[in-house]
Structure 1
Amino acid sequence: MYWTGLSPDQAREMLAEKDKSKRDKRTDLASAVRKFVRDGYNVGIAGFVNSRQPVALIHQIIRQGFKELTLSFQSAGLGPEYLAGAMLLDDSRCSIKRLEFAYWAHESFGISPLFRHLTENGLIELEDWSNFNMSARFKAGAMGIPFIPCRSPLGSDVMRANRSQVMQCPFTGTPVALVPASHPQVALIHVQEADIYGNCRLQGPLFTCPEIAMASGHTIVTCERIVEHEEMVREPNRINIPFFAVDAVVEVPFGAYPGNCHSHYYFDDKHIREFRAAGEAFRKGDSAPLKEYYDRYILQVVDTEEFIDRIPYSQLKHIQKIELRDFMLIQDAPPELQRADNGRDD
């Protein structure tokens, strides 16, 4: 058995030695990435497809440049696609070596042209899992066990593309699949609210973010807003990620843009299509649009604030208005439906 991030023993040792005190963990994007990301790291990307993707952190990783990264995620779109574009434009500064994942695309916006280019040209290693399998791997990592048994991926050929093993269940005598724990060296997570110590409160789907945070050696959290600790602990049952799992907190409004952040803003259809069109042009042999996109929105800006300054105000207003309308409809719904929305993990 080989481990592409931390081994279970290494992760356990890190957790035992980690400073778990309640301290102020606020910092800036550049400092957080500089401190916790290294060449060759296994990077856990939280969120789901283009919802609550840690875009601000990914952009900062691209600005600083890291090579030979392994990316571990359940389903993602914007996060790995941005890294793929950086690699294809200049792999001497930023590159992906390996993927451990279930899905990489943009759902209603279409397939990922840059992922397609990477795979068709054999530029990255792939380890294919189902969404449930990757969730189970992060769950095993969060629980501190080296593997977890599950019925999936039995009955499919996905086992030919990953490290899962089959054994006979000692209790039932039937076959059971074992999937190895995933322990990224660092997790990148965007949330709606966090306090200065790293307690995080999520709204809407959880997207396996708590498990990724608990499974990783270090966790960087960006948030739409930092709330007072007293407000955070007033409802302790709503804290989805505990402070001791978090190493850095960065307040970054629009930190998941142009993706969706539930209760704050919807997908920016226009901007996502602009980025995807540049990627499609690259796949077809024209690198100019992609280079122009990266220069304008990532490499020639210092941080997310400058990135957002380059987006027309009308677009930002529109996606906030759409999301606020939907959020208010949820708030006006019966209490049992509100609870279902705030606590679901789909």
Structure 2
Amino acid sequence: MDWTGLSPDEARKLLVNKDKSKRDKRMDLARAVATFVRDGDNIGIAGFVNSRQPVAAVHEIIRQAKKDLTLSFHSAGLAVEYLAGAMALEESSCTIKRLEFAYWGIELFGISPMLRYLAENGKVELEDWSNFNMSARFKAAAMGLPFMPCRSPLGSDVMKANRAKLMDCPFTGTPVVLVPACHPNVALIHVQEADMYGNCRIEGPLFTCPEISMAAGYTIVTCERIIDHEEMVRDPNRINIPFFAVDAVVEVPFGAYPGNCHSWYYFDEIHIREFRSAGEAFRKGHKDSLRSYYNRYIWGVRDTDGFIEQIPYRQLKHIQQIELREFQLMRSQN
């Protein structure tokens, strides 16, 4: 097995022939997912652990019950946890068949109960990489290369758990590891600002999001707000993802909630603990709390607005105030 998403040749053909014109790409999230995400796809999950995770897009994938997905990411938390929880509750609904990743957890909130549940019960295929190697795989794909040479796997056992190849460098004769390009069928990316054409601004760390967008066959971008194109191009150096790499733009305030979105809102520790506790209870055989969570926040609502309406206003205000204070402090120190 060499390619679990698009092969380099398939990706090249698709990207060369795809309409990359400057056109209005705004649409609602349900339409974007229905248009670009198919059963059996390799989905590139952008963001990093609980930061700028494409939670809104993942919730919609769950509601549309996409099946047999491969998930590719370097480090993720909430987005993957939601998909895994849906599969654990309803295996006839949204399902994951394979994971290619470096880390899956919820950081200070604890390890992932859903990863433990799926792995310990043999329900998914796992391919283990380092963070750098997954980033290199996306970088190779973004550059149109079938692989990227790396030294980092040398001296470790990580190559026993993935498809990397060892060879001698043709120039130096020293060992080098080749990691295969990763071309997801679809990338899911959440950013702070985008324009109607798909140009994106990212505040804070980029988390390999530009590379994932360029590597994927199609890219769905959710954003906190859509701004005028004139405002976007007034500062072109701040455009991190270009319009021709994006196929759908969806304005979804709180689209990364309950994770954080730099300069917009911080983690909602109360809600994350509620979600993780329900997952941990499920892993230990108590299924009611996780099912109640999904019925209330995902299956029982139409969209992200319905999800956010379930959250106490005081919690949302609190996470916005925390992030605003930290952002102002950083700017005052520079």
Q: TM-score, normalised to structure 2's length?
A: 0.99
CA distance in 2, matches of 1:275, 1:180: 35
- Specify the code of the residue in structure 1 equivalent to 2:133: N
Per the alignment, residue 136 of structure 1 pairs with 136
**Corresponding position of 1:3:** 3
> 1:64 aligns to what?
64
Deviations 1:64-86 (A, max 9, x none): 00111000001000011000000
Taking the TM superposition and a 5 Å limit, the aligned residue runs for 1:75-224 are 75-224=75-224
Give unmatched runs, 5+ long, in structure 1: 335-346
Q: CA deviation at 1:93?
A: 1.0
Q: What's the CA shift for 1:180?
A: 0.2
What CA distance in whole angstroms lies between the structure 2 residues aligned with 1:101 and 1:233? 34
Runs of 4+ in 1 over 2 A off after TM superposition: none
Q: Give the secondary-structure state (helix, strand or coil) at the position aligned to 1:299.
A: coil
Measure the CA separation in 2 of the matches of 1:247 and 1:121.
37
**Distance in 2 separating the partners of 1:153 and 1:238:** 33
Instruction: Work out the CA distance in 2 between the residues paired with 1:182 and 1:2.
Output: 10
Q: Percent identity?
A: 75
What amino acid is aligned across from residue 238 of structure 1 in structure 2?
R
State how far apart, in whole Å, the 1-side matches of 2:167 and 2:115 are.
34
- What CA distance in whole angstroms lies between the structure 2 residues aligned with 1:323 and 1:61? 28
- What are the superposed Cα offsets for residues 164-184 of structure 1, whole Å, 9 maximum, x if unpaired? 001101111100000000000
CA deviation profile, 1:133-192 (whole Å, cap 9, x unmatched): 000000000000000101011110000000000110111110000000000000000000
SS at match of 2:70: strand
1:241 aligns to what?
241
Q: Distance in 2 between matches of 1:105 and 1:180?
A: 24
Give the Å deviation of 1:333: 2.0
1:192-214 C-alpha deviation (Å, 9 max, x unpaired): 00000000000000000000000
Q: CA RMSD in A?
A: 0.5
Q: Which residue of 1 aligns with 2:302?
A: 302
Find the aligned partners of 1:73 and 1:288 in 2 and give their Cα distance.
30
Distance apart, 1:308 and its partner CA: 0.3
2:254 and 2:79 map into 1 onto residues whose CA distance is 14
C-alpha deviation, 1:330, in angstroms: 1.4
How far apart, in 2, do the equivalents of 1:21 and 1:114 lie?
41
Unaligned runs of 5+ residues in structure 2 are none
Letter in 2 for 1:165: K
Structure 1 residue 331 displacement after superposition: 1.7
- Counterparts of 2:152 and 2:68 in 1: how far apart (Å)? 30
1:266 alignment partner in structure 2: 266
Give the counterpart letter for 1:174 in structure 2: T
Q: Give the Cα–Cα distance (whole angstroms) in 2 for the partners of residues 241 and 59 of structure 1.
A: 23
Q: Distance in 1 between matches of 2:88 and 2:323?
A: 33
Distance (Å, rounded) in 1 between the aligned partners of 2:219 and 2:283? 33
Instruction: Tell me the TM-score normalized by structure 1.
Output: 0.96
Query: In the alignment, what sits opposite 1:283?
Result: 283
Q: May I ask how many residue pairs the two structures share in their alignment?
A: 334
Structure 2 distance, partners of 1:67, 1:309, is: 28
Partners of 2:201 and 2:114 lie apart in 1 by 33
Correspondence for 1:255: 255
- The one-letter code sitting in structure 1 at the alignment partner of 2:202 is L
Per the alignment, in what secondary structure is the counterpart of residue 119 of structure 2? Answer: helix
